Amino acid sequence: MRILSLYIDKWYIVGTIMDGANRTPLSLSNAEDRIWLYFYSNSTTNAVKYSLSYKDEALAGEKGYYADVFELLPDYKEYHYEKYGARKKMSEIFTDAEIFSDIRKSYGDDSKIPVYVSFSEDIDLVARGIFLETLKNERFDVLQYTLPIENLVLEYLIRHGKIADHDQKVLVVNACNENLRYSIYDLHSNALSVVSQKCEPGYGVDNRIQAIVEEVMEYMQADTHFLTGANDEWQEEMLYLSQFANLWLKKIDSSSDTAPVALGNIHFKKQANNEVPVVVSAYNLNDRTKNIIGKLTGKIVEMIRESGVLLHQISNIVFLGDVFSNRAFTDSLQQKIGVASDNVTHISEQLLPETVAVYDKWEKDAFDDEKKKFLETARNKYTQDRKKYVEQQTQELKEKAQAAEEDGRLQDALDGYEQVLRID
């Protein structure tokens, strides 16, 4: 039986077609290595496309470009895109961008396609439920909701003899998107169980990139006092500015260690009309990078100790993601924990299609109870999230409308009150 296996991350989808012992990665019409979830809705051609090439414009929030689509899926948030002048729900963008069509062409069969689906743990339950419903509507037969990518990677390593029965506890450090996730797994007779796991939002990128973006943001904040301190606001601006990080690093690397480097006029995403001439130094960048590495590795060691696990019980470390090609972080963590080099494994993102297809067969109805519980939890969370979101949006609109009324801007006030009534 041929089965499709999909791993759904915030920024991309990796897929593999399993046919007995054969594993074939998806072959896409744009020839990219995975389905990158950066979208462009072209109002001139009325075509919606997906591609990694749209990343910078999408993160910058330019009109017609979309990123982090799973955050935009719930209908109560009222995000939409346009095609032929009509407003369309964000959940339809996967179909209009021909993602499902590309998957079908790669699979080579237009019938109902059986599929195992795994989600990155930083995709919200509500968004997962909406995506699963979309798959169902597109004639995909979702057989199971499988395991997190860390589980699949460990199973892959066990099957390939990289991790043995006598190994005790494995630390997995995952940087497959901008968030850094780290988990301890207990191995017992080839069975895996999670001991502890944590996430550091925004730290799943190269540490030098993280450092230069922090330097720039702090420099700009000292000048503008724009940021309020909210975590989601800080993360959004970091994600936006990170697209320029490699250009800034090239400028710094071509200068001396002591001379300040002018990076140019830079603005926050939500303050486009207030550009700041930013100056940084290579010395400060290197010092900050070392501090970031020390802070992150220290947090991982702290999690291990808080879990009641002794450092010498960590028999293996698995680094998942391309950012770990820079060895400064990995070497620092390995030394702190004391794991031998032979027991340290790096899994590149190029291996994701193989790892997500590690299970080619599941027991029938193996996850029925979990699926029912998931759907119930997702529905309850949808209701709670919708209530909270609507209350917050309504209050903000009321305050803006009241301010407009007090200023004598009566049409603006009327528009605001009408919008409040419509949402209510």
| pLDDT tens figures, 347-393 | 999 999 999 988 877 666 656 677 777 778 878 888 888 888 888 88
The Cα–Cα gap between 241 and 248 comes to 11
Is residue 305 located within the same domain as residue 185? yes
418 has a pLDDT exceeding 80? yes
Is residue 221 located within the same domain as residue 341? yes
pLDDT tens per residue across span 11-21? 999 999 998 88
Residues present in the chain in total: 424
User: Across the chain, what does the average pLDDT equal?
Assistant: 89
- The CA-to-CA distance between both ends of the chain, in Å, stands at 50
Domain span at residue 233? 166-361
- The residues, any chain, with a CB within 8 Å of residue 76's CB and separated by 6 or more, are 385, 386, 389, 390
The band of 232, judged by pLDDT with boundaries at 50, 70 and 90, is confident
Is residue 338 located within the same domain as residue 387? no
Look at 35-39, 159-163, 291-295 and tell me which has the smallest mean pLDDT. 159-163
Per-residue b or e along 326-355, where b marks 16 or more CB atoms closer than 10 Å to that residue's CB: eeebbebbbeebebeeebbbebebeebbbb
- pLDDT value of residue 167: 64
Residue 322, in any domain of the structure = yes
Is residue 138 located within the same domain as residue 183? no
* pTM metric for this prediction: 0.83
Residue 6, in any domain of the structure = yes
The Cα–Cα gap between 60 and 63 comes to 9
The Cα–Cα gap between 346 and 365 comes to 34
Structural contact between residues 367 and 145, judged by C-beta atoms closer than 8 angstroms: yes
Is residue 141 located within the same domain as residue 279? no
Is residue 105 located within the same domain as residue 183? no
pLDDT tens per residue across span 31-83? 999 999 999 999 899 999 999 999 989 988 889 999 999 999 998 888 899 98
The band of 197, judged by pLDDT with boundaries at 50, 70 and 90, is very high
- pLDDT value of residue 47: 93
Look at 26-40, 134-148, 305-319 and tell me which has the smallest mean pLDDT. 134-148
Residue 97, in any domain of the structure = yes
Residue 170, in any domain of the structure = yes
Looking at this protein, which amino acid is placed at residue 26? L
Look at 10-14, 112-116, 161-165 and tell me which has the smallest mean pLDDT. 161-165
Is residue 186 located within the same domain as residue 112? no
Identify which of 2-11, 109-118, 228-237, 250-259 has the greatest average pLDDT.
2-11
Residue 366, in any domain of the structure = no
Spatial CA neighbour of 169 closest among 335, 317, 319: 317
Residue 32, in any domain of the structure = yes
- pLDDT value of residue 199: 92
The Cα–Cα gap between 374 and 364 comes to 18
Task: Identify the CATH number of the domain in which residue 106 sits.
Answer: 3.30.420.40
- pLDDT value of residue 348: 93
Is residue 63 located within the same domain as residue 188? no
Spatial CA neighbour of 370 closest among 9, 119, 188: 119
Residue 154, in any domain of the structure = no
Residue 368, in any domain of the structure = no
How many domains does the chain divide into?
3
250 has a pLDDT exceeding 80? yes
The band of 156, judged by pLDDT with boundaries at 50, 70 and 90, is very high
Is residue 203 located within the same domain as residue 124? no
- pLDDT value of residue 257: 67
Is residue 189 located within the same domain as residue 269? yes
